[in-house]
């Protein structure tokens, strides 16, 4: 009897397991049937071969075929791509929390101190704390305002350098070079109070080279992030390059922190000096009442500096370069913007930031540039933390989310004449870029949206306004507007253009006025 009882138990258990397997297989195949539409994946590669060199464009073409929500397998990574404002709202507002994670990636691991930064760190208590530090202390409106004179000075330095490089209007200048230097200098002064020359780093690598290499590895496609068994082979050599540049960056960041600590120890502070971001972070690290779970240490400060450099430099310069290119292609827009500025400030003084807030047309130009040329066209990848149903579709956990803001900006269902550069479309409209209006979200939105919006916008608006206020611009040949996909999407070829001075005072005298004033 006892033996029979055991047999019954085993049979019941077996039946239960079989039923469970049937239910599981049925429900998962039902779930799979509910996945969003998308092309059939190849073995191992999945749909990777469809991305090409310009993934945002390839994904926009796929969205035309499959619709605004698209399911792909990139290697082994389940990926959902959304390409309409309504879908973006569903994912980034309604289901914001589920998609607030970032996927694990080589960049976060090898460059960003094993995901200790803000941008590439997983969602959780650590990210919340670091993010709070950014939004409540580092990138507040007050802090942004405190760096106003830094931006104004650096923009004037750029104007001067452009005029000198062109030998007073004789030659074209490499605007990309000037803009990169401008945003580098502004960002460096914001976090460390000073700029850096090329001979300051150890190991024979210049500061500019370090930044270029950081941007190059950050924007590179890493096959091992998608086909996991290839991770260890480091086929493209990217992991090795990340480690090398990480070491150089680490030495640089250590030096910045040491400089600040020494200055504090020696009490050699100028009392009127505006606090930079490293000061703020050190204050926080030293404060007895650190109520935070994670005590701020050197590694956290270094990871934040890294984020600021990666996230803050190229995004702004790329946007200004695109805006200038569109103005050169659309001279009537350039002229109208110049007239607007001139009617406000005349031609005998430089602009200050306060002036720019009254330049409505100029700000429409910036919005129109973000619409056609968002510098981060797929935002940063998000990742789902649990099963989720969006618009009736099943989205498995650990699905990567890409939001194609580039495609959204060119969607004829949303914008009239979408390929036309027409800033007038924004005149009198309240549409802004800060994440309320889902048709225009170049900074993302929601929990993972960009915390540096005010800083980014104030750099872009002031620099663009001053470039067209001080100079007329001409190009010798047809402008090429092709794109290059990296950490941002700049023009494939740098913009060269010839400036001519348009202020009423001569160049020399206007700088003399500045020096004495």
Under the binding rule (CB under 6 A), the answer on residue 443 touching ligand HEM is yes
Among 41, 409, 444, 490, binds ligand HEM (CB under 6 A): 444
Under the binding rule (CB under 6 A), the answer on residue 380 touching ligand HEM is yes
| Choices 222-230, 361-369, 452-460, 476-484; region in contact with ligand HEM by CB under 6 A | 452-460
Under the binding rule (CB under 6 A), the answer on residue 449 touching ligand HEM is yes
Under the binding rule (CB under 6 A), the answer on residue 368 touching ligand HEM is no
Question: How far is residue 386's CA from residue 388's CA, in Å, rounded to a whole number?
Answer: 6
148 burial type by CB count under 10 A (0-12 exposed, 13-18 middle, 19+ buried): middle
Residues 132-151, mask of contacts with ligand HEM (x by CB under 6 A): --x-----------------
Among 50, 282, 311, 464, binds ligand HEM (CB under 6 A): 311
Structural contact between residues 390 and 69, judged by C-beta atoms closer than 8 angstroms: yes
356 burial type by CB count under 10 A (0-12 exposed, 13-18 middle, 19+ buried): buried
Q: Provide φ and ψ at 27, rounded to 5°.
A: -70, -35
Nearest residue to 159 via CA among 463, 517, 457, 363: 463
Query: Measured between alpha carbons, how far is residue 277 from residues 58, 133, 147, 347, 462 in Å?
Result: 39, 11, 11, 35, 21
Q: Which residue has tokens 């305002």? A: 145
Q: Which of residues 459-478 bind ligand HEM (CB under 6 A)?
A: 460
Chain centroid, CA 170 distance in Å: 35
| Choices 19-27, 77-85, 197-205, 376-384; region in contact with ligand HEM by CB under 6 A | 376-384
Q: Which of residues 315-334 bind ligand HEM (CB under 6 A)?
A: 315-316, 319
Among 103, 423, 442, 499, binds ligand HEM (CB under 6 A): 442
Under the binding rule (CB under 6 A), the answer on residue 47 touching ligand HEM is no
Question: How far is residue 84's CA from residue 86's CA, in Å, rounded to a whole number?
Answer: 5
| Choices 326-334, 390-398, 440-448, 496-504; region in contact with ligand HEM by CB under 6 A | 440-448
Q: Which of residues 87-126 bind ligand HEM (CB under 6 A)?
A: 118-119
Q: Which is nearer to ligand HEM, 134 or 173 (CB)?
A: 134
Tokens of 495: 């913009």
Q: Provide φ and ψ at 123, rounded to 5°.
A: -65, 140
Structural contact between residues 256 and 298, judged by C-beta atoms closer than 8 angstroms: no
Q: Provide φ and ψ at 77, rounded to 5°.
A: -95, 115
The one-character DSSP state at 479 is: P
Q: Which is nearer to ligand HEM, 143 or 260 (CB)?
A: 143
Question: How far is residue 370's CA from residue 296's CA, in Å, rounded to a whole number?
Answer: 35
Q: Which is nearer to ligand HEM, 205 or 300 (CB)?
A: 300
Q: Which is nearer to ligand HEM, 181 or 311 (CB)?
A: 311
Nearest residue to 445 via CA among 390, 396, 403: 403
Q: Which is nearer to ligand HEM, 460 or 510 (CB)?
A: 460
CB of 311: closest distance to ligand HEM in angstroms? 4
| Choices 17-25, 203-211, 243-251, 453-461; region in contact with ligand HEM by CB under 6 A | 453-461
CB of 316: closest distance to ligand HEM in angstroms? 5
List, as one string, the DSSP characters of 62-86: HHHHH-SEEEEEETTEEEEEE-SHH
Is 359 flagged in the annotation as binding? Answer: no
Question: How far is residue 168's CA from residue 507's CA, in Å, rounded to a whole number?
Answer: 9
Question: How far is residue 379's CA from residue 308's CA, in Å, rounded to a whole number?
Answer: 16
Under the binding rule (CB under 6 A), the answer on residue 156 touching ligand HEM is no
Under the binding rule (CB under 6 A), the answer on residue 375 touching ligand HEM is yes
> For 306-345, where are the E strands, in sequence order?
none
Under the binding rule (CB under 6 A), the answer on residue 455 touching ligand HEM is yes
Tokens of 209: 């080279």
CB of 47: closest distance to ligand HEM in angstroms? 21
CB of 498: closest distance to ligand HEM in angstroms? 26
What is the number of the residue whose Cβ is closest to ligand HEM? Answer: 452
Chain residues that interact with ligand HEM, rule: CB under 6 A: 118-119, 131, 134, 307-308, 311-312, 315-316, 319, 375-376, 379-380, 442-444, 448-452, 455-456, 460
């Amino acid at each position: 009897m006892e033996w029979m009882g055991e047999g019954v138990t085993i049979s019941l258990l077996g039946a239960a397991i079989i039923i469970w397997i049937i239910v599981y297989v049925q429900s998962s195949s039902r779930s799979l049937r509910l996945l969003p539409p998308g092309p059939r994946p190849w073995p191992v590669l999945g749909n990777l071969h469809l991305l090409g060199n310009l993934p945002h464009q390839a994904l926009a073409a796929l969205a035309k075929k499959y619709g605004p929500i698209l399911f792909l397998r990139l290697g082994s990574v389940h990926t959902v791509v959304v390409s309409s404002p309504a879908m973006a709202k569903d994912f980034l507002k309604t289901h914001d929390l589920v998609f607030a994670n970032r996927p694990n990636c080589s960049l976060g691991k090898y460059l960003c101190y094993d995901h200790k930064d803000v941008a590439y760190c997983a969602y959780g208590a650590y990210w919340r704390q670091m993010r709070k530090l950014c939004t409540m202390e580092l990138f507040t409106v007050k802090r942004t305002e405190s760096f106003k004179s830094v931006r104004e000075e650096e923009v004037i330095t750029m104007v001067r350098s452009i005029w000198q490089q062109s030998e007073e209007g004789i030659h074209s200048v490499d605007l990309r070079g000037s803009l990169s230097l401008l945003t580098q200098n502004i960002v460096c002064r914001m976090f460390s109070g000073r700029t850096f020359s090329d001979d300051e780093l150890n190991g024979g690598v210049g500061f500019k080279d370090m930044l270029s290499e950081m941007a190059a590895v950050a924007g590179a496609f890493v096959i091992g992030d998608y086909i996991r068994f290839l991770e260890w082979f480091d086929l493209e050599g990217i992991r090795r390059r990340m480690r090398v540049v990480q070491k150089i960056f680490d030495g640089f960041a250590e030096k910045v922190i040491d400089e600040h600590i020494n200055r504090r120890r020696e009490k050699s502070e100028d009392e009127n000096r505006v606090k930079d971001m490293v000061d703020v972070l050190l204050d926080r690290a030293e404060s007895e009442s650190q109520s935070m779970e994670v005590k701020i240490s050197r590694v956290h400060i270094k990871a934040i500096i890294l984020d600021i450099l990666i996230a803050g430099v190229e995004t702004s310069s790329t946007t200004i370069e695109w805006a200038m290119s569109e103005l050169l292609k659309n001279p009537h827009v350039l002229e109208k913007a110049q007239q607007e500025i001139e009617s406000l400030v005349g031609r005998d003084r430089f602009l200050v930031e306060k002036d720019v807030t009254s330049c409505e047309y100029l700000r429409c130009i910036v919005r129109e540039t973000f619409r056609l040329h968002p510098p981060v066209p797929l935002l940063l990848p998000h990742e789902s933390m649990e099963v989720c149903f969006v618009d009736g579709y099943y989205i498995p956990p650990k699905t990567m989310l890409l939001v194609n803001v580039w495609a959204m900006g060119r969607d004829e269902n949303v914008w009239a004449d979408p390929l036309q550069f027409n800033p007038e479309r924004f005149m009198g409209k309240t549409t802004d870029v800060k994440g309320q209006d889902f048709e225009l979200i170049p900074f993302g939105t929601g929990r993972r949206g960009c915390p540096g919006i005010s800083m980014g916008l104030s750099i872009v608006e002031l620099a663009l306004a001053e470039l067209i206020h001080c100079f007329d611009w001409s190009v010798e040949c047809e402008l090429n507007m092709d794109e290059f996909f990296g950490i941002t999407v700049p023009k494939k070829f740098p913009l060269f253009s010839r400036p001519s001075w348009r202020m009423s005072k001569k160049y020399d005298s206007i700088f003399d006025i500045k020096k004495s004033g």
